[in-house]
Amino acid sequence: MHIKHHPVLGEQLQKTITIYFNDLPYTAYEQQTVAAALMANGIKRLGSSRNLVQPRGLFCTKGRCCSCYATINGEDHVRTCQTMVEDGMKIYPNDEDPEVRGECCGD
């Protein structure tokens, strides 16, 4: 849920944008990170662990724990807590090992 009226900081959320998770549209606000905007829309599972295939999501919000990886605009393994939302952004969960080879990755 978005906090429209913050008890200390007031009404900060003004400009809405649309992001896509698994091709479905969701409303986000421009000063939010991808992970936060998805959580506001009830999406917490952002990927699964490689070995035991356990659900993974946001944990530290500071870019340290690397638990919130997702694929953003075609790039695998992006920390969603350190990436700000942009209009039309396409996000997919990271359920497999990331693509690190090929032309797109500079190989």
When asked if residue 100 is in the footprint of other proteins (CB under 8 A), the reply is no
Site membership for other proteins, residue 90 (CB under 8 A): no
Nearest-10 Cα torsion for 8, 9, 11, 15: -150
Judged by CB under 8 A, the residue of 30, 77, 82, 92 near other proteins is 82
Instruction: Work out which of 19, 26, 56, 69 binds other proteins, going by CB under 8 A.
Output: 56
Tell me which residue has tokens 């075609």: 74
Distances (CA, A) of 60 to 46, 48, 88, 98: 14, 17, 26, 21
Residue 77 engages other proteins in binding (rule: CB under 8 A)? no
Interaction between residue 46 and other proteins (CB under 8 A):
yes
Q: Does 9 bind other proteins (CB under 8 A)?
A: yes
- Under the criterion CB under 8 A, does residue 30 sit at the interface with other proteins? no
Distance between CA atoms of residues 61 and 86, nearest Å:
18
Cα 10 from Cα 79, distance rounded (Å): 28
**Bridge partner residues of 94 (DSSP):** 47
Among 17, 61, 92, 95, interactor with other proteins by CB under 8 A: 61
Give the footprint of other proteins on this chain (CB under 8 A).
1-4, 6-9, 12-13, 29, 31-33, 36-37, 39-40, 44-46, 49, 54-65, 67, 82, 84
